[in-house]
A = this chain, B = another copy of it.
Amino acid sequence: MVEALKIGLLGLGTVGTATAEILQSPERRNPVLNDITIAKVGVSNLEKPRQVQFPEGVLTTDLEGIVNDPNIDVIIELIGGLEPARSLILQAIAKGKHIVTANKAVISRYGEEIYHAAEQAGVYVFIEAAVGGGIPVIRPLQQALSVNRIQSILGIINGTTNFILTKMGAEGSDFAEVLTEAQELGYAEADPSADVDGYDAADKITILATLAFEEQVNLEDVSCEGIRQVSAVDIKYAKQLGFEIKLLAIAQRDETGLQVRVHPTLVPKDHPLASIDGVNNAILVEGDPLGQVMFYGPGAGGGATASAVVSDLMNIAAMVKTTASVNPLMKIPQHPAGQLVPIQELVTRFYARIICVDRPGVIGNLGTCFGKHNVSLESIVQIDFNHGIAEVVVVTHNVKEENFRKALAEIPQLEAIDQIQIPSVLRVLRENL
């Protein structure tokens, strides 16, 4: 009989507790879990009441002690944040321990350093829980999908913003109102910036893009816009035009190179991502010769995320028993840092809502201005009219971002157009995706 794999668990919040619960009740689960025991659990407060119980001496506040404990084989890092998480991971690797982490912030910023250290030490770093909660997506990207030439990854990978956008659309409510509601329900943090400004999604698409394309993507090169500027009226008009507005994280390779970005996007209603509602996540991967596959499920929550954490742990347990060296499909490939295509070079479609004084020739003047900058329009519609003020919605065909921005900048100078405002400019999923 092989000796049980000994785990050091750092953090006992929602995910840590759910992880311990799975490991403490292995019946009707994979038998590989029988050979795993929790040796130490690092917490910040020993006195706090806990939903799970451990034998005397397992709980400790000495996290450094855990990562340096020679009896421990695997560290599960669930404390989140940048430090001390990064240092603890690196110390554990240096001591020859395998790592399982759900920490997207650390991996998106220090992934290269951590993978390199793991490579040197001959240990695994598993990160399935860092993206998409319980949805298996990291391992399929590393394994099954990697026989394809990946063309794009499109993800709804932040549940908070998807909940907010879904609710705004269903109720016609505005952003601020729904955010308050989401905070009350526990779907959004007191400081919502990481979610609503797109930073969480940017962390995750950086991780996915680095796995799927052969270059190390730098988080700071990822273009990132959140959903604060999306209004209920934009969602309404988008629906009338046949679109849903989603916060998409996009990594896409074409002849111009690799582009990675996060922004609210108008998605055609018949697109598989258009019907992903509420706190759910979905990741759509397109490759050659595979075509499009999509992974859908709960992108957060203790149980779902713990499912991913424990599946990583189980993989390590199975491999430690059977492998003589590190399985190349189970390690994160390291690539040189790449140069992303800047957002001005992006070719996509746009939606813009324009408000101005209504007078004959407004639509013609706008159309001429776009045409001058090579912006081909799909539609230009006067949607609303009040007290002499017109509201015009423009949807373009594929256009270079730079050209579209130049046309927009020129509109306020048009002679025939008065009191102009452009309250919303949103991207539309480009035509050939």
- Mask: chain A, 280-309; 1 = CB below 8 Å from B; 0 = not: 000000011111111111100111101110
Q: A292-B297, A298-B291, A318-B329 are in contact. Are A33 and B134 (CB under 8 A)?
A: no
Contacts known (A28-B149, A327-B319, A329-B318); A298 close to B292, Cβ less than 8 A: yes
The contact size tier of chain A is: 35 or more
Query: A303 and B290 in contact (CB under 8 A), knowing A30-B147, A144-B128, A321-B328?
Result: yes
Q: How far is it, in angstroms, between the C-alpha of A321 and the C-alpha of B319 when the chains are bound? A: 13
Are A297 and B302 in contact (CB-based, < 8 A)?
no
Residues of B within 8 A of A306 (CB): 289
Q: Are A29 and B146 touching (Cβ within 8 A)?
A: yes
Measured CB to CB, the closest approach of chain B to A9, in angstroms, equals 15
- Assess the A297–B291 pair: CB atoms within 8 A: yes
Q: Is the CB of B296 within 8 A of A296?
A: yes
Contact of A304 among B29, B291, B319, B327 (CB under 8 A): B291
One of A135-143, A190-198, A398-406 contacting the partner: A135-143
Report yes or no: A140 in contact with B140, Cβ–Cβ below 8 A: yes
Q: Is the CB of A289 within 8 A of B318?
A: no
A292-B298, A322-B327 are contacts. A136–B147 as well, Cβ < 8 Å?
no
Please, which residue of chain B has its CB at the minimum distance from the CB of A139?
B144
Q: What are 14 A-B residue pairs whose CB atoms fall within 8 Å in the complex?
A: A18-B289, A28-B214, A31-B333, A135-B293, A140-B140, A291-B297, A292-B298, A293-B296, A294-B294, A294-B297, A318-B328, A319-B327, A321-B328, A323-B323
Listed from nearest, the 3 A-B pairs whose CB atoms lie closest are A289-B303, A293-B297, A136-B144
